[in-house]
Amino acid sequence: MTVNVNLPANGYDIKIERGILKKAGEELKLNRKVLIVTDDGVPSKYAETLAKECKESFITVIKQGEESKNFDNFLLLQKVMLENGFSRKDCAVALGGGVIGDLTGFAASCFMRGIDFYNIPTTVLSQVDSSVGGKTAVDFMGVKNIVGTFYQPKKVLIDPDVLETLDKRQISAGLVEAVKMAATFDEASFAKFEEAESLEDLDIVEVIAKAIQTKADVVEKDEKEVGLRKVLNFGHTLGHGIEAACSDVRLSNIWEDAPYEKDMHKHGLLHGECVAIGMLAMCDTEVKERIEKVLDKLDLPTKVSFDFDKALSAVTHDKKQNGKAISCVYVKKIGSYEMKDMMADELSERLATLEI
């Protein structure tokens, strides 16, 4: 299955197919120098498979985690390319989750003012979300994604088989972005989440393809996020606040003995889990009930204990003082959205509904 991201100057194809990693040589132009960037959480067999498809490959393995999306690693990639005589005709391939995709895309966009970039995303989140739209970045001085570029990949390959090694919690958290896109644009896809008995019951290839198509439609209309693309922030306004404030979390609807419960306490919530909770305060009651049921089924949290003041301050950026409204995505009916300006007081009330 192929989704074309139809952009005026730099459109590209996203090909979704089980086992496509093994055929990367047929799909991508790899008969040149290829920088393969991956991290130490991604099983090394994937990079080895890809390297076999390249004429001359240089595998760089970065430490897993958001902390790696930094300038040190950006410089490391520049260094590897420079020291190995890369020219403008060579290319870089990201083989990992969103961290690797954002970092490698940014490095490729800067080396010699831009070399070809291919993305092979290996988490659900990076497959359904960051594979589309060409946003690249590193984090800097504690601010996420603050330095980066819009740089479209030449092609994206999505191999759902690589998800076999991804842990279940990461799969659920990644699916939140697909639920979000269905809730705002695509009632039929949302119904598929409702019909499934559990995560295992979902047709993952179809879920990925539908989410990508939805995001591609949005990006085609608003490549540089000046308008429509903001709708992709459904759940993110309060979600970001919770993310900033949930270092010591307690979740309502996850079993005490869930295998990842201990991990969750230690590391706080994943981004997708925060967005999941954030969606629930930005919709009408009937919509909330429907989303909640889907989240439950996917083993995602629907309420959380967090430092309320810290979360509110992250949400409002202290706009309380100057009385500025924040534009939020709100869903009255599944498959549609509206933009609503909300003042700090309203955001505070809505945030309070998410606390245990």
Q: Where along the sequence are the contacts to ligand NAD (CB under 6 A)? A: 39, 41-43, 64-66, 69, 96-100, 102, 122-123, 125-126, 129-130, 133, 135, 145, 162, 165-166, 170
Burial of 319 (0-12, 13-18, 19+ CB in 10 A): middle
Q: Is the dihedral of CA 193, 133, 8, 159 positive or negative?
A: negative
Which residues is 156 bridged to in the sheet?
A: 14, 119
Which lies closer to ligand NAD via its Cβ, residue 167 or residue 338?
Answer: 167
Which lies closer to ligand NAD via its Cβ, residue 176 or residue 287?
Answer: 176
Smallest distance, ligand NAD to C-beta of residue 75, A: 18
Which lies closer to ligand NAD via its Cβ, residue 103 or residue 209?
Answer: 103
Smallest distance, ligand NAD to C-beta of residue 286, A: 28
Smallest distance, ligand NAD to C-beta of residue 182, A: 17
| CA separation for the pair 264, 270 (Å, rounded) | 8
Smallest distance, ligand NAD to C-beta of residue 144, A: 6
Helix (H) or strand (E) holding 36: strand 33-39
Distances from the Cα of 115 to the Cαs of 69, 94, 97, 308, in angstroms?
20, 13, 20, 45
Residue nearest to ligand NAD (CB): 98
Which lies closer to ligand NAD via its Cβ, residue 240 or residue 290?
Answer: 240
Distances from the Cα of 3 to the Cαs of 20, 202, 217, 345, in angstroms?
15, 20, 10, 42
Smallest distance, ligand NAD to C-beta of residue 119, A: 9
Which lies closer to ligand NAD via its Cβ, residue 64 or residue 247?
Answer: 64
Smallest distance, ligand NAD to C-beta of residue 232, A: 9
226 C-beta neighbours (distance < 10 Å), count? 8
Helix ranges restricted to H, 36-95: 44-52, 71-83
Smallest distance, ligand NAD to C-beta of residue 244, A: 14
Which lies closer to ligand NAD via its Cβ, residue 158 or residue 295?
Answer: 158
Token pair recorded at residue 138: 């590193």
Which lies closer to ligand NAD via its Cβ, residue 126 or residue 302?
Answer: 126
| CA separation for the pair 281, 23 (Å, rounded) | 44
